[in-house]
Structure 1
Amino acid sequence: MAVLFIFSGLPGTGKTTLARTLAPRLQAVHLRLDSVEAALKTSVLAISKSEDAGYVAAAAVARDNLLLGNNVIADAVNPIEITRNIWMEAAFAAKVKALNVEVVCSDKQEHKKRIETRRNDISALTLPSWEEVKRRRFEPWTRHRLVIDTFQRQVQDSVDDILNAFSQLVRFGSY
């Protein structure tokens, strides 16, 4: 049975790094919202502030892949419950389980360093500044989720934690 991995967390916490490492291990589709929103921006529609368009489009692609039996990793900030629910609705429509993963960097200095030194690998994407990240609205979770703190952890250790939660979800229905 396919599983939808719903990654959330502020920019610079390590979501994409984890997703890129996890995807081949699960033979999962990696849906990076930054890529979808950059494509919308450079399309003929020239959508520069996509609001929910990127989430809705990516969730539709997620649902299609889940229906084919593919695991999917949704890599997005998912800062508010509304965006998190878009992914949950995709999992529900495909009749699959979802694993919510909140990625954090608990050390502010390390998080700031990551924001200030990261490279932009999507030309149409403007990376946020540290000030923008600090001001970003991020609602507390109301649902159960796995919290991965990437501060002073090897990527593989965090991926192993996600894989363990995945195994429990598949085997027992919860983690």
Structure 2
Amino acid sequence: MTPALIVLAGLPGTGKTTISRELARLSGAIHLRIDTIETAMRARGETFEGARGDIGYVVAYGLARDLLGAGHCVIVDAVHGWREAEALWTEALRGTHARLCRVQIVCSDPAVHRARVETRKSDIAALSLPTWSQVQGRDAIPFDDADLMLDTATLSAQAAAVKIVAELGP
């Protein structure tokens, strides 16, 4: 597979991380998870207040740039709920000849989505998962022009990952 930056976006509990892991398994892409980066930074005292709220994204896209430059495919798994994120992936791609694939992940069934949010367990020791109320109140701006829109109310993580691989081509 030619180098690609695969940006998975969506609200918490829609399945981004599960899909990212399956996609990494199928394709050999490197999975960068904002939750992992931000949790590690919080453990070192980062507060993410004010203008520094995007620091986990800045770190992820800095790493993505290095990995893309070395010829790897990279998955960035995050909410991406703000317009300024585009500048970060644009910079990560600059000069790399890697392809961009933006994937919007949704769960169109509110009952399924809520059940996922309310029953999931964190696989990161210090990560506090959001409540259903917090997910509903999250100000997330979906991609206007996503390359793929995947609905995890009707697709398994494996089927979603296969669709992404098909979108990327050989």
TM bucket, shorter chain: over 0.9
Q: 1:67 aligns with which of 64, 69, 72?
A: 69
Query: Take 2:124 and 2:93, find their aligned partners in 1: how far apart are those partners?
Result: 27
One-letter code of the match for 1:102?
Answer: Q
Q: 2:98 aligns with which of 96, 99, 107?
A: 96
- Aligned residue for 1:37? 38
Q: 1:93 deviation in Å?
A: 4.1
Deviations 1:17-52 (A, max 9, x none): 000001022111100000000010012xx0132501
Q: Which protein has greater RCO, CA pairs closer than 8 Å, 6+ apart? A: 2
- Aligned residue for 1:173? none
Q: Which runs of 5+ in 1 are unaligned?
A: 171-175
Matched residue count? 166
**Contact 2:9 2:142 (8 Å CA) reproduced:** no
Match status 1:158 vs 2:157? no
Q: TM-score, normalised by structure 2?
A: 0.92
Identity %: 38
Query: Take 2:124 and 2:20, find their aligned partners in 1: how far apart are those partners?
Result: 16
Q: TM-score, normalised by structure 1?
A: 0.90
- Aligned residue for 1:139? 141
**Contact 1:9 1:103 (8 Å CA) reproduced:** yes
Q: 1:5 deviation in Å?
A: 0.2
Deviations 1:53-111 (A, max 9, x none): 10001100000000000000000110111123312321234231110001100001110
Question: What SS does the corresponding residue of 1:81 show, helix, strand or coil?
Answer: coil
Question: What SS does the corresponding residue of 1:52 show, helix, strand or coil?
Answer: helix
**Contact 1:100 1:144 (8 Å CA) reproduced:** yes
Query: Take 1:6 and 1:76, find their aligned partners in 2: how far apart are those partners?
Result: 8
One-letter code of the match for 1:53?
Answer: I
User: How large is the RMSD of aligned CA atoms in angstroms?
Assistant: 1.4
Q: 1:147 deviation in Å?
A: 0.4
Q: 1:82 aligns with which of 75, 80, 84?
A: 84
Query: Take 1:91 and 1:15, find their aligned partners in 2: how far apart are those partners?
Result: 21
* 1:109-120 equivalences in 2 (<5 Å): 109-120=111-122
Query: Take 1:160 and 1:60, find their aligned partners in 2: how far apart are those partners?
Result: 27
Q: Which runs of 5+ in 2 are unaligned?
A: none
